[in-house]
Structure 1
Amino acid sequence: MARYQRRNRIYYDDLARLHQLLVGEGLRVLEIGCGLGDLLASIQPGHGVGVEIDPAIAETAQARHSELKIVCADAETISPESIGEPEPFDVIMLPNTLNTLQDVQRVLERLEAFCHPRTRLVVSFHNWLWQPLLKAAEALGQRQPQPPESWLTPRDVTNLLDLAGWEVLKAGHRCLLPRSIPLLAPLANRWLSQLPLLEQLGLTHWMVARPVRQPTSEPSVSVVIPARNEAGNIAAAIERLPALGRCTEVIFVEGHSSDDTWQRIEQVCDSYQGPFQLRRFRQSGKGKADAVWLGFEQAQGEILMILDADLTVRPEDLPRFVQAMTDGRGEFVNGCRLVYPRSAAAMPPHNTAANRFFAAVFSWLLRQRLKDTLCGTKVIWRSDYQRLKKGRSYFGDFDPFGDFDLLFGASKLNLKIVEVPVRYQPRSYGSSNIAHVKEGLILAGMCAYAARKLRFLP
């Protein structure tokens, strides 16, 4: 096997880069069909367990990677007890394993025993369009001999995952040229392989899936309201906000207003006698993102939610966001202003066009369909935000608005992103704080940067 891996180094390196993107460092990871263990070792798991059916290969893999636990077992009969791992795993990897299994559905069903509700399954398999070339390579001694293979299409795998209780979150292709050809291989595999149409020809097809979620008990909710020059909307935000979850915490974060926004926040918080817990802070930094991060750091609720103080997204719509989270429909909920009719006063035509453009770019970047990336109302579990914050260095602290930071981070964590349509309203007080041209250029630059981190992997 080692000589085939050396010969196909371009392919295996590309597979490693893909899994390093999809699997975070320091997690509990189970790889089924681990071979020599190189792929599992490359992602630097906190605790890595590899399962290999061939005893000789398993022994070699264990000697090669002493930091891993390599178990000789059959994927179709394994259980947590049989491999000595009673604790669930954060990620399960099945790289190029499905094609050789006798009963794919049975294996996918057995994986439930290794999961907790937030476990992610990362599956990769060869594109069926490559079958003639791979069979020819095998006959010529350029590929390791394979047992009888099932040449599964993406639709086949999606259907099998669905039958076994897994929901596909995102998918893609990689690796147009699995052999080392100077200049051409890097161009094809990094850049051309991610372009529309050409992407479908990649050798590697991959999917990320999650266990079908069950509804959760009623959580507590923290609503963070960043406010700059919004004095006339502070009282209305509280008056119109419905009760959310088991208990509702409202956190105002004021940001260098030129009007009396801070004074109004103090008045509302000091005089309030309702069921909500009201808190207020003044940011020392600048920008909406800085205000939101301050609010999230101070929040005590299990669900974190952003409500812009201009109230163009109606507070009355927020229970739908919480419902989507508690029902397990999504793990990151984004508001969508582009479904229902809206007036030109609420969103001028050029804003609508820009929002549609960035939505198309994001849908391609994140491999999850989004219709409105720039809606200020976004919702995430606090536990997921803590993980997102730890991984923020992957993209860097470059987003002054917070929208892209949260969406990029949610995608990197492989969270299920869903959108809740809202009826977008014109603001009733003040004027917009957005500098459209300047901020549009900043957003475009962030998209280009994210493409290199999420799509065009070096």
Structure 2
Amino acid sequence: MRRLADASAPERRKWYARGAFFHAEDLHYLKFLIGEGARVLELGCGTGELLAALRPRYGVGVDFSAGMIGEAHKAHPHLTFLVGDIEDEAFIRQLPGPFDVILVVDTLGAVDDCQGMFENLHALCARETRLIVGYFSHLWYPALKAAETLGLKMPQPAQNILSPADVGSLVALADFEAVKSERRLLLPARVFGLGRLFNRFIAPLPLVSSLCLRHYTVCRSLRHRSADVRSASIVVPARNERGNIEPAVQRIPRFVEDLEIVFVEGHSQDGTWAEIERVRAVYPHYDIKAVKQPGKGKSDAVFAGFEVARGDVLIILDADLTVPPEQMPKFWEAIRSGKGEFVNGSRLVYPLEVQAMRFLNLIANKIFSILFTWLLSQRFTDTLCGSKALRRSDYARLKAARGYFGEFDPFGDFELIFGASKLGLKAVEIPIRYASRTYGQTQISRFRHGVMLLRMVVFAFLRIKAM
């Protein structure tokens, strides 16, 4: 196999150019998963075209073919290329990790021991590292061999045949967790200009996606999942919630020694700001911050609170207290233990109190949960629950990518969910018992905001699924 790769190295670029449309489609999705400026390791890099196209801050490519690596050095001298056996634990350990992304694309087919190879990669991982495995669907194997016979594809020896389920099983055996899996690329050729159209709008659809050529699995290392966090900030956006300010402080458990409460007041008409100031004075032994949001809407309030919060973990608690403050330790523990990296509350598991959620709201939430589970390839039963948690360091990365999705979400829920999905964060949900309001009225204009959220679904389809 190595001799074949060495012999074909000078012709590699010719074959790459011949399959330019396929490689462009492949790169398009990988660029969504991997932002520019990351530390990227590609195992089985060939002549380095993919690694170079990702524009890493620091890129390392490894291949067992000296011929391929020689071509890569000549074409991309700004990157690091090494000849080595990716199944050799000693070789892997001497690579300059950790990396932000470890990329294994079309490499599993030539690996003798996939589980062992994956196990060796933990030495190059940090908590944030994402392992991205790209491979072809076994349904396409006969067509790909026929393409080789017809001179349409670079010849390869017999390959391992692995489905997405097989990849998920192998990474699980090696102590990696598959965060999400995607199928892409229905047409690997332009086909009179229809290729891009089909790949963007038809390929992602349910059932149709099972026919796609490509599958991608995004994984994280379970040996590095524990988060070194020692402090938490509970951000409480509050508009016309005067009667809930003191109960919020009284009911929030002291689940970590270094805990701060950040109230973000949103142009209230009922004296909420004065009440926050009063409560701060009455409870001096609590670390309470108070800020006035600069703009409008819950989204603006949440992000204003995040900007001044100093905790390692950021937790959102709505000031209406319909999500019980007593549940906040569960959000903290999910992050601290590493079981989740983005924690979302779910109000739709336990029975609801009478009048806790209007019927139309309940139906809308159910519909949105189905749509977003499909869009994001992770389970979400209640996207509109206000309580969420994530690490402050992950929020900093998420914030940098917020503009990708636009800023027309009135609540902030979807900006956080989409951003977490783009980063490949492991999402978990915590069921909570949703309570009725005891003070004030809802700040939600149901139909107007519902239309805006429907626009967000369409936008997410175009930017995440049909891209």
- What TM-score bracket applies, with the shorter chain setting the length? over 0.9
2:5 alignment counterpart: none
For residues 87 and 12 of structure 1, what CA distance do their matches in structure 2 show? 27
Give the superposition deviation at 1:393: 2.1
CA distance in 2, matches of 1:280, 1:170: 38
Which AA in structure 2 matches 1:270?
Answer: A
1:199 and 2:199 matched: no
CA contact (8 A) 1:80 1:86 kept: no
Partner of 1:116: 126
Residue 303 (structure 1) aligns with: 313
| Offset, 1:118 | 1.7
* Aligned residue number for residue 282 of structure 1: 292
Q: Deviations for 1:283-341, whole angstroms, at most 9, x for unmatched residues?
A: 12111111111110101100001100000000011111111111111001000000000
Structure 1 Cα separation of the partners of residues 92 and 359 of structure 2: 60
1:427 aligns to what SS in structure 2? coil
Aligned position for 1:6: 17
1:30 deviates by 0.1
Alignment correspondent of 2:173? 163
Decide whether the 8 Å contact of 2:229 with 2:312 is kept in 1.
no
Is the contact made by 2:343 and 2:388 (CA closer than 8 Å) also made in structure 1? Answer: yes
Amino acid at match of 1:75: I
Residues 216 and 413 of structure 1: CA distance in aligned 2, closer, same or farther (over 3 Å): closer
Distance 1:414 1:81 in 2: 24
CA distance in 2, matches of 1:6, 1:216: 44
Q: Is the 8 A contact 2:311 2:392 kept in 1?
A: yes
**Residues 141-188 of structure 1, C-alpha deviation per residue, up to 9 Å, x if partnerless?**
221111221111222111110111100000011111112212321222
Q: 2:40 maps to which residue?
A: 29
Map Cα deviations across residues 359-386 of structure 1 (whole Å, 9 max, x no partner): 1111111110100000000101000000
Identity %: 45
- Asked if residue 317 in structure 1 is aligned to residue 327 in structure 2, the reply is yes
Alignment of 1:28-107 (within 5 A): 28-77=39-88, 79=90, 85-107=95-117
Aligned to 2:3: none
Cα distance between partner residues in 2 of 1:238 and 1:57: 63
Q: CA deviation at 1:211?
A: 0.4
Q: In the alignment, is the contact (CA less than 8 A) between 1:218 and 1:245 conserved in 2?
A: no
Q: Residue 118 of structure 1: SS of its match in structure 2?
A: coil
Cα distance change, pair 180–81 in 1 and its aligned pair in 2 (3 A): closer
Residues 435, 80 of structure 1: alpha-carbon distance in 2 compared, 3 angstrom cutoff? farther
Of the candidates 231, 238, 243, which is equivalent to residue 232 of structure 1?
243
Q: Measure the CA separation in 1 of the matches of 2:326 and 2:294.
A: 30
Q: CA deviation at 1:79?
A: 4.4
TM-score by length of 1: 0.97
| Distance in 1, Cα, partners of 2:177 & 2:97 | 22
SS at match of 2:128: strand
Contact 1:94 1:123 in 2 (8 A): yes
Offset of residue 400 of structure 1: 2.3
Q: C-alpha distance in 2, partners of 1:215/1:7?
A: 45
The answer as to whether partners of 2:92 and 2:121 remain within 8 angstroms in 1 is no
**Could you tell me whether the CA contact under 8 Å between 1:10 and 1:180 is conserved in 2?**
yes
CA–CA distance in structure 1, aligned partners of residues 37 and 227 of structure 2: 27
1:112 CA displacement: 1.1
Render the CA deviation track for 1:261-292: whole Å, top value 9, x for unaligned: 01100000112133x30110111211111111
> How far has the Cα of 1:81 moved from its partner?
6.9
Match of residue 188, structure 2, among 164, 167, 178: 178
CA distance in 2, matches of 1:80, 1:285: 53
CA contact (8 A) 2:314 2:390 kept: yes
Letter aligned with residue 279 of structure 2: V
Distance 1:43 1:214 in 2: 26
**Unaligned residue ranges in structure 1 (runs of 5+):** none
Moved more, 19-28 or 229-238: 19-28
Please tell me whether the aligned partners of residues 27 and 91 of structure 1 are also in contact (alpha carbons under 8 angstroms): yes
SS of equivalent residue, structure 1 residue 105: helix
Secondary structure of residue in 2 paired with 1:194: coil
Indicate which of 350, 355, 371 corresponds to 2:365: 355
In structure 2, stretches of 5+ residues that fail to align are: 1-11
- Contact 2:233–2:311 under 8 Å retained in 1: yes
Question: Offset at 1:398?
Answer: 2.5
Range with greater deviation from structure 2 (211-220 or 88-97)? 211-220
| In structure 1, C-alpha distance between the alignment counterparts of 2:120 and 2:293, rounded to whole Å | 49
Structure 1 position 397 matched with structure 2 position 407 = yes
Q: Specify the code of the residue in structure 2 equivalent to 1:256.
A: H
Measured after TM superposition, the shift of residue 86 of structure 1 is 3.1
3-state DSSP of counterpart to 1:370: coil
Mapped contact 1:230–1:430 kept (Cα < 8 A):
yes
The 1-side partners of 2:109 and 2:329 are apart by: 44
RMSD: 1.4
Displacement of 1:80: 5.9
Contact 1:30/1:48 (<8 A) preserved: yes
Q: Which moved more, 1:171-180 or 1:332-341?
A: 171-180
Separation in structure 2 between the aligned mates of residue 88 and residue 202 of structure 1, nearest angstrom: 32
What is the letter of the counterpart of residue 300 of structure 1?
A: R
Following TM superposition, by how much is the alpha carbon of 1:78 offset from its aligned partner in structure 2, in angstroms? 5.6
Q: Which residue of 2 is the match for residue 328 of structure 1?
A: 338
The one of 338, 353, 369 aligned to 1:343: 353
Shift of 1:109: 1.0
Native 8 Å contact 2:127 2:226 kept in 1: no
What's the CA shift string for 1:70-110, capped at 9, x where partnerless? 1111211164677x633311110000111111111111111
Q: Counterparts of 1:215 and 1:85 in 2: how far apart (Å)?
A: 23
| Contact 2:236–2:318 (Cα < 8 Å) also in 1 | yes
Is the CA contact 2:251–2:325 (under 8 Å) kept in the aligned structure 1?
yes
| Deviation of 1:67 (Å) | 2.0
Q: Is the 8 A contact 1:303 1:381 kept in 2?
A: yes
